[in-house]
Amino acid sequence: MISLILISLITCGVGSTLYYFWAKRRAIVDIPNERSSHSHQPIRGLGIVFPIACALMGILSLYTRILPVEIEEIWTRPFLIPLGIVLAGLTGYFDDRLDLKASIRLPLYALSVGLVLFASSPLSYISFLGAGIALIVLVGIINTYNFMDGINGITGLYSIVFFGSVLFYLNDCNPDLLGFTEVLLIPALCFYIVFGVFNYRKTALAFLGDAGSIGTGLLVSTCLIFLFNEFQSIHVLSLLLVYGVDSLGTILIRLIRRENIFKAHRSHFYQDLVHKIGISHIKVSFVYALIQLCINVLYFTSVFQPMLIFMVCLVILCAIYLIGKRHMGQLNLNLLK
């Protein structure tokens, strides 16, 4: 594992640096719009390094035997998951650059999700209804990750917490599955450590773009599939609870207000904290990651009552969200007066 960590850090570091200076020379920047939480023009699309690094490290691990040979018995279709992540990342990158038509973009995203579903045995053998439900859930998780990537550091820190928690759990409780997952999780973890140098700062130097957020969402979905296969319960969504409550809560509120949920906006709770309360990007991102880390610790240490942890944390987060949103509404009225 040490060799894989070192190689992943070097690969992600070199790749991110090269892309940053190349994109800077080509003026590939993020232009602020009505949804943006920034006013400058950072480099856009640094996230393309993420799926490429995952694929390269996966191939390297298999062919150089950094990992045990038994990995081939666990990963029966070894290249489909990184292939799906690369496909999703490349589609997101070119959509950022060229604004791909929906008729091109959506089938490619669907194909990438389908590859992950097919490769994630035993879900590859479930009914069409089960596959359809899984597809909807995966698309929802991917969109959640994409929509929540709106302020400096939030996706980077949150991803470090998620991938780090899953790695820690597998290393401690399920080493058989670790041989499979560390091929992807370690490069992902290393990428976001490197990405923090560019993004986790008062004025970000670079953003992920859809290439990174969608690719990451797909890998997060993959991890949840494997955990669901093991626990056979929705309480595995505890690992994505903070993002889930903010994202789904925002969608429901916008639907109630009869707003177009597909239109760019700044209605997420984390955006309210930044723009209406005035808390810095760095602090909000840190708090989101810290809360999720606390939930993960409770979840993995409460082996006999994970559903109870899930329900209690869900209720608490929903209460905080609703109270906070109500306060934001009162704040808006005061500002209008």
Residue 227 lies in a domain: yes
Q: Can you tell me the mean pLDDT for 3-10?
A: 84
At residue 79, what are phi and psi to the nearest 5 degrees?
-100, -5
Residue 269's nearest CA partner among 282, 256, 251 is 251
- Is the pLDDT confidence value at 153 over 50? yes
Q: Count up the domains in the chain and report the number.
A: 2
198 and 272 in a single domain? The answer is no
Residue 106 lies in a domain: yes
- Is the pLDDT confidence value at 152 over 60? yes
- Is the pLDDT confidence value at 87 over 50? yes
Residue 117 lies in a domain: yes
CA distances from 70 to 166, 177, 188, 234 (A): 20, 10, 22, 29
Q: Please tell me the distance from the alpha carbon of residue 202 to that of residue 283, in angstroms, as a whole number.
A: 10
216 and 88 in a single domain? The answer is yes
- pTM beyond cutoff 0.85: yes
Would residue 336 be called left, alpha or beta, if left means φ above 0 and alpha means ψ between -120 and 50 degrees? Answer: alpha
Q: What is the pLDDT of residue 245?
A: 93
311 and 179 in a single domain? The answer is no
Q: Which domain holds residue 180?
A: 2-31+39-232
- Is the pLDDT confidence value at 132 over 90? no
195 and 260 in a single domain? The answer is no
248 and 181 in a single domain? The answer is no
Residue 132 lies in a domain: yes
What is the average pLDDT score of the chain? 80
pLDDT, tens digit, for every residue of 177-212? 555 566 788 889 999 999 999 999 888 899 988 888
75 and 19 in a single domain? The answer is yes
Q: What is the pLDDT of residue 224?
A: 85
* Both structure tokens of 61: 């691990």
* Sequence-distant (≥ 6) Cβ neighbours of residue 283 within 8 angstroms: none
141 and 101 in a single domain? The answer is yes
174 and 312 in a single domain? The answer is no
* Contact present, 161 and 293 (Cβ < 8 Å): yes
- Is the pLDDT confidence value at 128 over 70? no
